[in-house]
Structure 1
Amino acid sequence: MTHSVFAPGLESVTVAETELSRVDGQSGELVVVGYPIEELAANATYEESVSLLFEGRLPTAEELSEFSERLAGRRSIGPEVRDVLRRSAAEDRDAMDALRAGMAAADLGADVSGDRAQATRVVAVAPTVVATYWRYRAGEEPLAPDPELGHAANYLYMLTGERPDEETVRGLETYLNTVVDHGLNASTFTARTIVSTESDLVSAATGAVGALKGPLHGGAPGPVLDMLRAVQESGDPEGYVRERLDAGERLMGFGHRVYRVRDPRAAVLSTAARRYFEAAGETAFFETAERLESVALDALEDHTDRRLATNVEYYTAALLHGIGIPRDLLTATFAVSRVGGWMAHCLEQLADNRLVRPTAEHVGPSPRSWTPLDER
């Protein structure tokens, strides 16, 4: 009989080999296909990051142009999908519920024969689904994707109806690159598990959206933004932190399941946020975030034996708020990025597939004898 290891949550259990990203929680490093996240996030377009994940190398100018055209050509959704999103908006459903429904129908009316075509379609359509839902919720008609705009710029355009400026696009682009892949997290593991059954990539993406919706995975930027807004309004970060800790509450945006030091993505997004707010000439919100971070870290060091450092969600909230992403779309915008990593992992899984089939340790009752109903 094969030896089994009991590890709740599969912590420290290696279940796959990957060439896509390396996460070092002790030293605080994230490397994506050989590139430190600091370099990739600040320099790449989102299309370059996804091509890198799909192909294992940076694309040439010609390859990038062709890949970008394929993505742009697969952004549109049909009336059946719009009907679902309209209904989701009318019922005030969560954006992740709408994305899950839209993602499940992503292959309707689309030529997605083959795994690579499905992967490209899923990446391309995610921003359209989110933006269409949001326009309906705002009481406005959705906008068709603009093939002349890049992936990040087109998402902003479909949300607002205005072509974004360069600094806003760069801010979103940096965010999308920063969170595009991060090892075998819960949603990525879900996607790989689904395709390991030889199911399709649309199903894998739909399941991954469901996993990302959970507040323990992708749902914290909203509460971080609430915290930042409250502190900006009060002007008293010390009082806010003291009150929360004395009440036994968590400070959102601090601590991570993997990192024992500052999340490297927090540093990338802090730099991006500073650049954006300074370019916009409105630094007050960012300065509030920096001040609160310093106060919170000092307080947490005195309050707990655990090392709780700043995580990716802290400056995600600050940056996305600055560039105009609504609070209710923060997690959905996370998905707009991470779908590229999901699809790359699915392709990697299928290239050398083995069905994911862990075991469970039985802790239920010992064997029993059946008791007829009239004798119970």
Structure 2
Amino acid sequence: MVQAKGLEGVIATTSSVSSIIDDVLTYRGYNVDDLTDYAQFEEVIYLLWFNKLPTSQQLADFKSELIENAYLPNEVLDIIKNLSKENAHPMSILMNGVSALAIYDEEANQMTESANYRKALRLQGKLVSIVAAYSRISEEKEPLRPKEDLSFAANFLYMMSGRIPDEISEKAFNKALILHADHELNASTFTARVCVATLSDMYSGVTAALGALKGPLHGGANERVMKMLVDIGDITQVEHCLHRAFENKEKIMGFGHRVYKTGDPRAKHLREMSKQLAKVTGEEKWYYMSLAIEKIVTKEKGLLPNVDFYSASVYHSLGIQPDLFTPIFAISRVSGWIAHILEQYENNRLIRPRAEYVGLKNQTYIPVHERDESKDVIA
């Protein structure tokens, strides 16, 4: 039996959603660099779900549908409020919120193509509202509804802060959403596909994916990057703190990637956004600290920054608290999860790999009273 630790290099399925070939990331065949530079996030969602870019009318209709489906049931808002009082991690709140949405969706268990599309709209729209609502509630403010004349990116920033974002902030967040939308068969996407391959519903698939995304080796990495920056505190301390971390064999979050060999192509966009936002906000130290960290880690460890590294300073510059970094990752990545879930439904086969057994063999059962009497048997 062939075994690969962490399934590294194993081809587990076929997909037409996204690809990583020669360190180039594409969505439905479109280079992510072009999409990041020119597209709106709503166009990318449409592309991932329908395998084509929308016309102007299709895009306008799609935007309206997303806003129409952004409103949360009062029962779900109550769950967010109650869990916020318990100081639960926002990713746990998001998982509970998404799971609860299924209870209030009459089509949750319907598997027709049209029902799945409507559920996709609800999930994409309502995840934004859950995260923004949590942000407001945690600051003892009332949640806000989206504005029909704002983009997806601008609406989230508005629903979180209560202020219409400036053009640079909206553009930066739009780019961040596009860059995080999909990434082939990553851990959370694979989790979603395994879940729905049992013919479980879309809400279950997204909830399962959120559980995988929460981990610090996946979506939680950018939160850990910001913690590292805050702990270092000043650019004059970067070299000392990094060398101490190297000596203690600590993992430097936001560097390296199992798939990319010449560097994560998304990192350069986030680096530039971090630079631009730093100038606008006047908090340039986080950008320059990040540059200094990148220089040292690349030189001494041969590791290049991945998408998580500069997204930390980008989100911080947008006024987003670190505990919201991973939930914000989710409001983007759910677009890719849904595309993969729909693809899994189209040509489904239960995902059931095997494991190579490496445990004890030829054991003999000993009755419990004999085990109690024996001093040689370890409980």
TM over 0.5: yes
5 Å matches for 1:281-360?
283-300=284-301, 307-360=302-355
Partner of 2:129: 128
Quote the Cα distance in structure 2 between the aligned partners of 1:323 and 1:6.
44
Task: Confirm or deny: 8 A CA contact 2:294 2:304 kept in the other structure.
Answer: no
Shift of 1:342: 0.3
Shift of 1:367: 4.4
Query: Structure 1 residues 161, 338: CA separation in 2 closer, same or farther (over 3 Å shift)?
Result: same
Q: Percent identity?
A: 38
Quote the Cα distance in structure 1 between the aligned partners of 2:105 and 2:275.
40
Quote the Cα distance in structure 2 between the aligned partners of 1:143 and 1:91.
22
Deviations 1:218-256 (A, max 9, x none): 111122112333445253322222222123222222111
Deviations 1:180-230 (A, max 9, x none): 000101100010111111111010000000010011111111221123334
Structure 1 residue ranges without an equivalent (≥5): 301-306
Residue 58 of structure 1 aligns to which amino acid in structure 2?
Answer: L
RMSD: 1.8
Quote the Cα distance in structure 2 between the aligned partners of 1:17 and 1:326.
37
Structure 2 residue ranges without an equivalent (≥5): 372-379
Which range is displaced more, 353-362 or 284-293? 284-293
DSSP-derived class of the 1:254 partner: coil
DSSP-derived class of the 1:202 partner: helix
Q: TM-score, normalised by structure 2?
A: 0.91
Partner of 1:15: 12
Task: Confirm or deny: 8 A CA contact 2:267 2:309 kept in the other structure.
Answer: yes
Partner of 1:87: 82
Partner of 1:255: 256
Partner of 1:303: none
Task: Confirm or deny: 8 A CA contact 1:41 1:178 kept in the other structure.
Answer: yes
Partner of 1:59: 54
Shift of 1:331: 0.7
Shift of 1:133: 1.6
Query: Structure 1 residues 289, 369: CA separation in 2 closer, same or farther (over 3 Å shift)?
Result: closer
Quote the Cα distance in structure 2 between the aligned partners of 1:108 and 1:75.
16
Partner of 1:202: 203
Deviations 1:5-27 (A, max 9, x none): 22222111111111111113xx4
Task: Confirm or deny: 8 A CA contact 1:143 1:161 kept in the other structure.
Answer: yes
Partner of 2:266: 265
5 Å matches for 1:233-252?
233=234, 235-252=236-253
What is the aligned length? 365
Task: Confirm or deny: 8 A CA contact 1:212 1:219 kept in the other structure.
Answer: yes
Task: Confirm or deny: 8 A CA contact 2:69 2:125 kept in the other structure.
Answer: yes
Shift of 1:281: 5.7
Shift of 1:90: 0.4
Task: Confirm or deny: 8 A CA contact 1:89 1:137 kept in the other structure.
Answer: yes
